[in-house]
Amino acid sequence: MSIVLSGITKRFGGFTAVDHVDLTIAPGELVALLGPSGSGKTTLLRIMGGLEFADSGRLLIDGQDATATEPHARRVGFVFQHYALFRHMTVFENVAFGLRVARRRPRLAEAEIRRRVLELLELVQLAQLADRYPNQLSGGQRQRVALARALATEPRVLLLDEPFGALDAKVRKELRRWLREIHKGMGVITVFVTHDQEEALELADRVAILHQGRLEQVGTPAAIYDRPATAFVCDFLGGGTRLSCTIQGDHAEIAGLPLALPPGAWTRGPGIAFVRPHDVEVLPAAGPGSLSARVRAVQPVGPELRLDLDLDGQVMEALLDRRTADVGALTPGAAVGVRLRHVNIFPA
């Protein structure tokens, strides 16, 4: 079971919501569609599910052209942000609904439905709440029921649109871990939409980053974090401080400090350098391979010490471990050296 999108484009009037997207999803993969509001994530998900049809391009599910097939024929399971459970039905009946409406022949016997529903409720750890109604559940529990209901139809593909979007941070975190476990057990292709980079990086096997309807980069969480392909991706994934630099062909310079560039075709000219706060090393004084800076502000934040450093008029943020930082010497106005462990550079 795989999904192949090629050249998928969708317009609403004169507006292009999804723009020539190519994406191949391997059997059993857990993929995040990540991007800012309006970048086309939901539209792309709906096209995969058959709730929306592309204007051009092709969609293959399991090697078969599914560009124009109806949702039920695609065998997809959906879970949306607002759990949309049937309020007048118990948890049990909500999940059983998926089995009762499935267009299967012969229809399942009631005993078989009961067995499967209980199995699914065990899976989402809600068997003991089978007789409750949705308004007697927490948000996280409702979302787990929604997932069980989607799984009841034995989908080939599971599509989740901001599944944890309406929940508070702690519950979201728990559900992430839980979804990862469930996915591992089922092995069904799962695609989820999120605008939360942490959620995407923590949960997905691969992350597809969308920007203005276009796919900016696809890769494993580590690959896109360590080697963002564009300034947009870098910035969106928490790029850190943005500094101006100059690209000199084989290297770049920030305030006169030379920095190696990864191999590639670099043209000389102005560039943007992104430095993440954890990649800034603060030294007692500047020396070879480091820059001189001045401390502007110091703020303890839990286990860390956040510094605003003045680098030739540009402000750069650093995060140090409070237990190991020389807190006494790091006061506003102090002169320090700065070494950059890792910098992401892009043409301006």
Ligand X SMILES: Nc1ncnc2c1ncn2[C@@H]1O[C@H](COP(=O)(O)OP(=O)(O)OP(=O)(O)O)[C@@H](O)[C@H]1O
Distance CA 249, CA 38 (A): 36
In the chain, where does DSSP find H-type helix? 41-49, 71-74, 91-101, 110-123, 139-152, 169-186, 197-203, 221-226, 231-236
Distance CA 304, CA 315 (A): 19
Per CB under 6 A, the list member of 28, 38, 139, 337 interacting with ligand X is 38
Distance CA 146, CA 267 (A): 51
Per CB under 6 A, the list member of 195, 206, 211, 276 interacting with ligand X is 195
Contacts with ligand X, 57-86, as mask; x by CB under 6 A: ------------------------------
Per CB under 6 A, the list member of 3, 5, 8, 17 interacting with ligand X is 17
Query: Quick one: which segment of 23-31, 32-40, 55-63, 123-131 binds ligand X (CB under 6 A)?
Result: 32-40
- What residues between 245 and 274 interact with ligand X by CB under 6 A? none
At closest approach, how far in Å is the CB of 85 from ligand X? 21
Q: How many residues bind ligand X (CB under 6 A)?
A: 11
Any contact of residue 43 with ligand X (CB under 6 A)? yes
Q: Which residue carries 């980053």 as its tokens?
A: 209
Distance CA 81, CA 41 (A): 13
Angle made by CA atoms 27, 5, 83, in degrees to the nearest 5: 70
Q: Which residue carries 């499967």 as its tokens?
A: 116
At closest approach, how far in Å is the CB of 247 from ligand X? 32
Any contact of residue 12 with ligand X (CB under 6 A)? yes
Query: Quick one: which segment of 39-47, 60-68, 166-174, 298-306 binds ligand X (CB under 6 A)?
Result: 39-47
Query: Quick one: which segment of 37-45, 113-121, 220-228, 293-301 binds ligand X (CB under 6 A)?
Result: 37-45
Query: Quick one: which segment of 31-39, 143-151, 295-303, 332-340 binds ligand X (CB under 6 A)?
Result: 31-39
Residues that bind ligand X (CB under 6 A): 12, 17, 35, 37-43, 195
